[in-house]
Each structure stands twice: as C-alpha cells, then as structure tokens.
Amino acid sequence: MVERVYREEFGRVVASLTRRFGSIDVAEDAAGEALLVALEKWPVDGVPPNPGAWLTTTAARKAIDKIRRESHRDAKHQAALMIEDDTPHEPTGPVEDDRLRMVFTCCHPALAPEARVALTLRLLGGLTVAEIAQAFLVPETTMAQRITRAKKKIAGAGIPYRVPSLEDLPERVAGVLAVVYLVFNEGYLSSAEGTSVRDDLTTEAIRLGRILRALLPQVPEVTGLLALMLLTEARRPARISADGTLVPLPEQDRGAWSRPLIQEGHALVRECLATNRPGRYQLMAAINAVHTDARAAADTDWSQIAALYGQLAAIDPSPIVELNRAVAVAELDGPEVGLALVDRLNGSLSGYHPFHATRADLLRRLGRSAESRSAYDAALALIDNPAETAYLTRRRDQLALG
C-alpha cells in the first residue's frame, strides 16, 4: 500500500524538489528518505489525507537537512552539482507542472536513447533501478551506471530543467512520445527470450501516457499515443494463446478484448481527430479503432484502414506503412493485388520479418505452397520472439501437411 502510493506520487515529489533545490540527485535521495519515514509512520498512523503533499514536505525537510550538513563540508562541490533554472516563472497553465519539466529533461535529445527511457521510468515513473534493470534484462549495475552517467551529464553539460520554447516544443514533444512508445513496445513486442509480454512496461507506458495527456491536453499527438496504447493493450488478453502461441488479429477471440479500454480509446481517437491536425500516433490509433470496432474479423472496414494507411504514408512515408497498406488492399482487392504491392518492398524490408510473414500468408492464400514455405522460413530466421516463432512454425507446418 505504502509502495503503491509512493510510486504514484514519486514523480511529482522528485520533480517539485528538483525545481526547488536545483539538483536531481538531492531530490531523488530526499524522496527515498521520505519513503523510509512513510514506511515507518503510515502503517501506525494511517495514510495521510494528501499523501503527495505529505511526501513532498517530508522530503523537502530531509533535503534541507542534508544541504545544511553538506554545506559545512564542501559548499563548492555542492554548488557544482546544482543545475540552474533562471527562467522567469511565467503562468503557463497546466504546463507549469514540474513533472513536465522533468519529462523534457529526461527525454532530452543530448542523452542516449536508452538513458532517456531509463531516466523517464526512474524519475517520472518511480520505478527502482532494480525494477528497470529487470524489465530491460540488463544487470542492475549496468542500469545503475547508465542512470548515473545520464544524471551526471544533465548536471555537467547544463541540460536545462524547463519546458522548451514554443518554437522547439513540437519536436521535443515528439521525442518524449517516442520514449513512451518505446517503453510500451518493449513491453508489448518484447524480443527477450521466454517473455512475450511484459505487463510492467506496458502498464508503465500507459501510466506515463496518461500523465502526459493531463499535462499537454492541447497536443493531439499526445492524445493519439494514449489512444493507440489503450487500443493495443485492449486486445492483449486475446493475443497469446494458453500454449504461448501468438494469435493473429483475424483469429483472436474478440469477446476477450477489454471493452472499457476500447471505449476509452475510441473516445480519445474521436477527440484528437476532431482537432484536424492528424499525426502518426493519431492515425495509428484510428487504424486500431477501426479494427476494434468490428464485431467479427469479417466485418472489418478494410477500405477505411487502407485509406488511413494511405494518409499515414503521406505524412510519414515508410516501407513498413506500405506493407501494412498492402495487407489492407489484399483484403479489399484480393491477395494477388496485395502481393504485387508487397513484392515491390523486397530489398528495403528483406531484413524485417513481418515482410516475409505477410508474403508467406498471401502466397498461401494463392495456393503457391512451395514459395509460401520458403517465405515462412525466411521470416522464422529473423525472429527471436517465442510466441511469434510458435505461430509461424505452426502455419508453415500446416502448409507441409496440406
């Protein structure tokens, strides 16, 4: 109970103290000490009515004590560790939340991508270093070093603790969304052996997505990303069968999908599309909304999906988008037309296993078994996800029997 409240409030406490004391390290240590006090007091006195405020006050006291102690010892060293924020404190509405400053600091482009992810989960998500290390399957010492190094760079290189200027905001928000989506996908499409879905990371990414939406409700891509994650997460109960095999979308038990998540996701898709500033995440969310709208796979509105992929290709052209559009076209105009589109992508996608898996499926539907089998083999050679391996092996072996 204490741990749950603490994790909920951690990001707010650390962000607020970082602003006040100008040092992430001071803020983080103080938040840790406040937890120890909470663990001692709350089970006896009960959880205070406003646990976040209680933790912030307690942590601030701890930080002041520590700074007093250390200022006697080495004031210069302490000053060197401080990062400054001398921007005028303008009233900018919800943007004022200290956690928003923290997001932009953690996801700063001057930090290595893996450090951005780790820092965001640690400082905003309140995960422990051990938990993050476990989630990314690296030794705890490695993760601790990665985080320490990143924090040292923030202080040493002067990465600012503030919301970027309006001019830089769209690009920097895109960087933040990329970090959150990476955390989500790491959980959802984990390439780690033996773990097809890591709930903790998808849950954490959605929680971060909700925080971002609360902080930046006026940015449609933020809403789009949350919708995309919710609609993907909604299908998770049906995505892996009891024996650990991947179940592709058309074969999933739609009754197992989470209705509340789908409803929430659909509402968010409608809301962000209404602003008429389409972006990558909004369009991907809209595609997922069309899929989750169909009561049965056969009811899927493929013309809508093909059109949305066409829009996506217009703003964010990539061979992967073309591949997905080809799948929709195959449903509309038949596998032969789809295959012609897919074959054009050979070369750019020859190292991407869904390309071979899609080809294999279209060739199978056209009765070209031998070609289909070698396409399945090509896909299998590129995969290290056990659930997908199991699924594609089964499809290939069904071919062999038929």
Partner 1 sequence: MPQYFLAVNHDEASDAEMATKTMEDFQPIIEAVDAFNTALRESGAWVFAGGLQDRESSTVVDATGDSPIVTDGPFSESKEYLGGFWIIEAADLDAALDWATKGSQACAGKVEVRPFQLEPEA
The alpha carbon dihedral of 275, 280, 281, 284 has a sign of positive
Q: Kindly tell me which of 6 and 161 has the beta carbon lying closer to partner 1.
A: 161
Residue nearer to partner 1 on the CB measure, 26 or 363: 26
Q: Which is nearer to partner 1, 156 or 347 (CB)?
A: 156
CB 55 within 8 A of CB 38: yes
CB of 182 to partner 1, least distance (A): 22
Q: Which residue has the tokens 């493929």?
A: 302
Going by C-alpha positions, the residue among 68, 65, 82 that lies closest to residue 24 is: 82
Which residue stretches of 194-279 are H helix?
A: 199-215, 220-234, 259-274
* Nearer to partner 1 (CB atom), residue 87 or residue 263: 87
Would you say 391 and 399 are in contact if contact means Cβ atoms under 8 Å apart?
Answer: no
CB 13 within 8 A of CB 213: no
For the CB of residue 108, give the shortest distance to partner 1 in the complex, in Å. 8
> How far is it, in rounded angstroms, from Cα 143 to Cα 137?
10
Q: How far is the CB of 111 from partner 1 (least distance, A)?
A: 10
User: What is the three-class DSSP state of 384?
Assistant: coil
Q: Which is nearer to partner 1, 75 or 214 (CB)?
A: 75
**DSSP assignment, residue 189?**
S
90 or 299: CB nearest partner 1: 90
Nearer to partner 1, 125 or 175 (CB): 175
Number of residues written out for the chain: 402
Q: Which of 183, 180, 165 is nearest to 224 (CA)?
A: 180
CA–CA dist 272, 220 (Å, integer): 5
Whole-number Cα distances in Å, 91 to 94, 129, 158, 172, 180: 9, 34, 24, 21, 27
Cβ at position 161, least distance to partner 1 in Å:
9
- DSSP category for residue 163: P
Kindly list the residues in this chain that would bind partner 1 in the complex (CB under 8 A).
75-76, 79-80, 84, 86, 108, 110, 156-160, 164, 168
CB of 26 to partner 1, least distance (A): 17
CA distance 106 to 126: 13
Nearest approach, Cβ of 175 to partner 1 (angstroms)?
13
Taking the complex as a whole, the smallest distance from the CB of residue 157 to partner 1 amounts, in Å, to: 5
CB 104 within 8 A of CB 79: no
CB of 168 to partner 1, least distance (A): 8
For the four alpha carbons of 390, 395, 398 and 399, in that order, the dihedral sign comes to negative
Tell me how far, at minimum, the Cβ of 97 lies from partner 1, in Å. Answer: 20
Is 246 strand, coil or helix?
strand
Cα–Cα distance measured from residue 287 to residue 293, given in angstroms and rounded to the nearest whole number: 10
Residue closer to partner 1 by CB (options 155, 189) is 155
Contact 392, 376 (CB under 8 A): yes
Nearer to partner 1, 143 or 159 (CB): 159
Cβ nearer to partner 1, comparing 50 with 92: 92
From the CB of 114, what's the least distance to partner 1, in Å?
19
